[in-house]
Amino acid sequence: MAPTVKVHGAAGTVTGSCYEIAFGRRRLLVDCGLFQGSRSLEALNRESFAFDPGQIDAVLLSHAHLDHSGLLPRLVASGFKGPIWCTQPTIDLLEVMLPDAAHIQEMEAERRNRRGDRADEPPIDPLYTLADAERAIELARPAGLEEQFDAAPGMQVRFWNAGHILGSASVEIAAGGVTMLFSGDLGPDNKSFHLDPNGPREIDHVFCESTYGNRDRETVTIAARQRLLEMEVKKALARGGNLVIPVFALERTQELLLDLARLMNGGRLAKAHVFIDSPLASRATEVFRRYQADLEDLGDGEIFRHPAFHFVESVQESIRLNAMSGAIILAASGMCEGGRIRHHLRSNLPRADSTILFVGFQAQGSLGRTILEGARRVRISGQDLAVRAQIERIDSYSAHADRQELIAWVRDRQPILGSLFLTHGEADALQSLHDGLRRDLASIVIPEIGERYELPAGAPARRLETGRADVRAALSRDWQNEYADLAVNLKRRLQRIESNERRAEALARMRLILDQYADHRRRKHSQT
């Protein structure tokens, strides 16, 4: 009897990581993460799980980022009662990450229910509550790197350093004479704080992330990265406005603070006010302080006490920042899909003297991706905004390995005796990484959400179930992205038409097209 794997997320997309391993009557989950990006993709978070949570023996969590851990509270609320195995630093981070995520879910539901344009729609419930998050944390159990333990009878597990963020791990599973390795997210070379990723060789089936599978970044040392940041900060502050940096509260914030502190301490940057506008980032930084002795590059820990750094806690303090100029503002979330970054964008996107600096991956369909790809107008919380700010990007802060680093990690796992699965990537990245590895391996699989595979020892995987066709459309820009783009530009497009009569005609045609689609839908429904 061979184990099987069913893919529930992070296939064709970089979020929603979740893989179900079955061996006989035993079930394990590797990760249970949130889908993030377009509204259609995020709607998958509200679907019933495609398995019975009460039948899952244990969760093996690669790290604390929400696209890997963010559905754990909902899993617990749905009946899961087993252990959640992860490293001790991951547990410490979950203690701040999951309650914060629950608070955001509760506040976002409340905010959307207050919106006037939703007054005639059913109220929205939060995805999960603070109580759900606290119950999930109670189930967390620590395991050390490279220490084997039984996650369920007949299923042995080891964690390996993934070099991605504090506590991150790749997950090795052995069951029925078959070995599997899930990379989790892999860190790049020259990353602050962590050693390079490692892992075992001669694995039957390897699941490798592909986030940057289509991008070869220029090799940049920490010193070179600091020079890039120095240049961007100087350019931004010379314009007279604010420098707004959308950040992930965990790891990206701490790396930026490390570099800003060293640039200021070395006299290369003037002492500007740096506001860390994320209570979660503040608490995550405290976890970093706890592990200071175990982390590389922290030196004497200047990021924890630098006089230029101001950790913003209250909403009132955050809102007051909108009246400032010449400040550096780090605010979550990193893809601009929620959190305090959105009101900073509302204040600074229309300002030609402000700069928005992206330092992390922006998923397809996210607001961050829309801005980065050059949108001149965007819609944020029902408000249309012109984009006049300078938009910049630094790739070298990525916490993910690039294409060549991913290829090197896979080659270090050789020989791979069965199949290599490429996961956690968008279509172009998956295909590019596949092309870079096809001469190395006889069996490379790019799975879809909903597919299930048998994993025999020493032989290629065999597909047992096909994927979900209904999910494919949600993996890219959806109709709501297209609607937002149309809505924010509609007035200007109408103004370009030469007369009021023609403008009225254009609007009448648009209404007619929408009515025709609705009539066709009604007729089709009545025939079924």
Measured CA to CA in angstroms, residue 340 lies from 12, 96, 176 at distances of 29, 17, 48
Tokens 């350093």 belong to which residue?
Answer: 161
Q: Is residue 520 domain-resident?
A: no
Beta carbons within 10 angstroms of residue 471's beta carbon:
21
Instruction: State the average pLDDT over residues 14-34.
Output: 97
- Tens-digit pLDDT profile for residues 330-380: 998 888 887 899 999 999 999 999 999 999 888 777 899 999 999 999 988
Indicate the number of domains in the chain.
2
Type of residue at 411? R
Which pair of structure tokens corresponds to residue 507?
A: 């609007």
Residue 422's pLDDT is what? Answer: 98
Q: Which of 373, 396, 419 is the last residue of a domain?
A: 396
Domain residues for the domain of 333 are 222-396
Residue 13's pLDDT is what? Answer: 94
Residue 44's pLDDT is what? Answer: 94
Q: Is residue 419 domain-resident?
A: yes
Q: Is residue 138 domain-resident?
A: yes
C-alpha 130/C-alpha 17 separation (Å) is 22
Same domain, 304 and 443: no
Please provide the DSSP assignment of 29-45 as one string: EE------SSHHHHGGG
C-alpha 274/C-alpha 363 separation (Å) is 26
Question: 477 falls in which pLDDT band (50, 70, 90)?
Answer: low
pTM of the model: 0.85
Instruction: State the average pLDDT over residues 5-22.
Output: 97
Burial of residue 318, with CB atoms counted within 10 A of its CB: 0-12 exposed, 13-18 middle, 19 or more buried:
buried
We report the CATH number of the domain holding residue 376 as 3.40.50.10890
Question: 399 falls in which pLDDT band (50, 70, 90)?
Answer: confident
Instruction: State the average pLDDT over residues 3-19.
Output: 97
Burial of residue 148, with CB atoms counted within 10 A of its CB: 0-12 exposed, 13-18 middle, 19 or more buried:
exposed
Same domain, 134 and 277: no
Residue 22 has pLDDT above 80, yes or no: yes
Q: Is residue 414 domain-resident?
A: yes
- Cα angle 404, 407, 412 (rounded to 5 degrees) comes to 125
Tokens 């924890």 belong to which residue?
Answer: 304
Type of residue at 476? S
- What is the C-alpha radius of gyration for the chain, rounded to an integer number of angstroms? 24
Same domain, 426 and 313: no
Residue 484's pLDDT is what? Answer: 67
Q: Is residue 360 domain-resident?
A: yes
Q: Which of 396, 412, 430 is the last residue of a domain?
A: 396
Lowest mean pLDDT among 140-149, 312-321, 413-422: 312-321
Q: What percent of the chain has pLDDT over 90?
A: 66
Question: 295 falls in which pLDDT band (50, 70, 90)?
Answer: confident
Q: Is residue 482 domain-resident?
A: no
Residue 381's pLDDT is what? Answer: 79
Tell me the pLDDT of the chain averaged across its residues: 91
- Tens-digit pLDDT profile for residues 120-152: 888 889 999 999 999 999 999 999 999 999 999
Same domain, 93 and 203: yes
Residue 528 has pLDDT above 60, yes or no: no
Residue 525's pLDDT is what? Answer: 62
Q: Is residue 480 domain-resident?
A: no
Same domain, 17 and 149: yes
More confident site: 91 or 190: 91
Same domain, 242 and 184: no
Residue 8 in contact with residue 20, Cβ under 8 Å? Answer: yes
Residue 524's pLDDT is what? Answer: 62
Please provide the DSSP assignment of 192-241 as one string: SSSPPP---SS-SEEEEE-TBTT--PPP--HHHHHHHHHHHHHHHHHTTS
Which pair of structure tokens corresponds to residue 509?
A: 């045609």
C-alpha 468/C-alpha 5 separation (Å) is 15
Q: Which of 152, 170, 172 is nearest to 162 (CA)?
A: 170
